[in-house]
Structure 1
């Protein structure tokens, strides 16, 4: 297996360096058949096509990177990184209410159509999704890095498997840790991958429980971990009776830039979701939040490692699964 092309700066945290060495020297426990040159012979233009598709879509719609990141999280946390979230139909993962607000599907479909012309039946939708999410970070100003490919697409997608495998915005730290741990992700990975909220948006309903409405219909803040002035802004953007489609940027400062502003926001008690704010209030994660808030290089280096682990969760390789002809439909 090739070494991961990440170079740690002098400011990087020592324990992340140790993690890096371990990843380089040891095979991935759930993805031993993945390779950094998987399509070198069968479809050498695969990564180029995906990257260009993501860049083109982002130039037209700057919300695309955030949508692609959310999409890969919801895929990998449910039945592993097998593109099962892309399958359409009644009773599929995509039909579950927790996934109906997902976006970015058209980007994956566009890349797949091009690849089916040049390399028919070769590149999996699971790889396209993982690569697109990787490239979305770079397109938004974040770090560029390699990830291995060779994932195959799952044939099963059920709505019943969604809720128990994803993090709810109202979860406590222990509940979030339980979900991440079940996917083989550490407490460090949890803090790093939460940094995905430096881009993207959330519906008003996802943080409405941080407020209460009295008998006179007046709303007030009940979550002491949220900055009062920021809470006022949120109430203005999400007035009572607002459409369920109204969204708010995860990061109010640099909405479309992948940077460390998310952690700076947390330090100012401006985490949009309760599941964001707990990273600062919990002593187990506060130190990393403080570090990333002042050291973007450390966050970027850690992101590459944790994203690699995320996109290696329970992957299907070899003869498992299939290579779909169309990402929204299983073959046959």
Structure 2
């Protein structure tokens, strides 16, 4: 047993090394420990900020991870979702429920005290999401840094570049493919739904409201008992702020329970359920449901690819003084 664990560990090291080497070669201006000389405690300060905030609010890891997704899928991982103002990504209705901004702002404020004009907001967000996953019980992933912050943030770019919860597998795969992510990456990164929560409106299309205001399940891919639980937490007259956990079993723990939920037809969104019902991804879901070790290994590889989408370096961007606004 011990020998098998050692072999698995060495396989993980080899895969991680090859993946890291590939991205180092593909992104020569990003590097590990980019701030070793200019701000050696940068990652430590981000990690401590995330841990302190998450200890007080256990919903923050899910929020930070979702915030990163919405940043990287639009304009690349450049912190453009952090910018405030009319017509920015952040102002789009699809992003109004995002959270975790205060954690990034707090880390930035601390870093500006010790290392002014050195650490980008986009790097802070990538590191914060990585640390949030680890805080919630997930794997620690190596993150290359050296990103610059983007100066463009348009609400009109949001909808064409993020996944809607009613998307088909083809729609999701096409979007991921346009970002350089594979079908395997789609299944793996969907595992982010093992933490976090969602507003009732995000899955309301799986139910139909009758004349008396009662909700009836119309999506046969959803477990009926689970559906009943959802209607109790999210009745037709639920407030717009009402939320439910993405994972009904281990909502605060980053684990592979998400995939076991899919096998039990308890995927909260239609876009979750389709991963198990579509033959192209069924086997992948089953594999990850059986092995948390395999999920963590694949998560490290796919997350590494995610945070390197469309990064800006050198004169392509800037180091913002405030994450909420571009430098004047």
Q: Give me the TM-score of the superposition, normalised by structure 1.
A: 0.94
Equivalent residue number for residue 89 of structure 1:
85
Change (3 A) 1:261 1:286: same
Change (3 A) 1:38 1:169: same
Equivalent residue number for residue 4 of structure 1:
none
What are the within-5 Å matches in structure 2 for residues 197-236 of structure 1?
A: 197-236=193-232
Q: Take 1:175 and 1:16, find their aligned partners in 2: how far apart are those partners?
A: 31
SS at match of 1:236: helix
- 1:177 counterpart = 2:173: yes
SS at match of 1:177: helix
- 1:121 counterpart = 2:117: yes
Change (3 A) 1:19 1:143: closer
| Equivalences, count | 325
CA RMSD in angstroms comes to 2.0
- 1:140 counterpart = 2:136: yes
Indicate if the aligned counterparts of 1:31 and 1:314 stay in contact, CA closer than 8 A.
Answer: no
Change (3 A) 1:137 1:241: same
Which one has a larger percent helix, Structure 1 or Structure 2? 2
Question: Per-residue deviation at 1:27?
Answer: 3.9
What are the within-5 Å matches in structure 2 for residues 187-266 of structure 1?
A: 187-266=183-262
What are the within-5 Å matches in structure 2 for residues 254-293 of structure 1?
A: 254-293=250-289
Change (3 A) 1:73 1:27: closer
Q: Take 1:30 and 1:91, find their aligned partners in 2: how far apart are those partners?
A: 33
Change (3 A) 1:11 1:187: farther
Q: Take 1:36 and 1:257, find their aligned partners in 2: how far apart are those partners?
A: 27
Aligned pair partner of 2:326 in 324, 327, 330: 330
Indicate if the aligned counterparts of 2:89 and 2:95 stay in contact, CA closer than 8 A.
Answer: yes
Indicate if the aligned counterparts of 2:77 and 2:307 stay in contact, CA closer than 8 A.
Answer: yes
Equivalent residue number for residue 48 of structure 1:
44
- 1:314 counterpart = 2:323: no
Q: Take 1:18 and 1:224, find their aligned partners in 2: how far apart are those partners?
A: 42
Q: Take 2:23 and 2:306, find their aligned partners in 1: how far apart are those partners?
A: 15
What are the within-5 Å matches in structure 2 for residues 101-116 of structure 1?
A: 101-116=97-112
Indicate if the aligned counterparts of 1:30 and 1:314 stay in contact, CA closer than 8 A.
Answer: no
Q: Take 1:31 and 1:81, find their aligned partners in 2: how far apart are those partners?
A: 13
Question: Per-residue deviation at 1:24?
Answer: 3.9
Structure 1 gap ranges (5+): 1-7
Q: Give me the TM-score of the superposition, normalised by structure 2.
A: 0.95
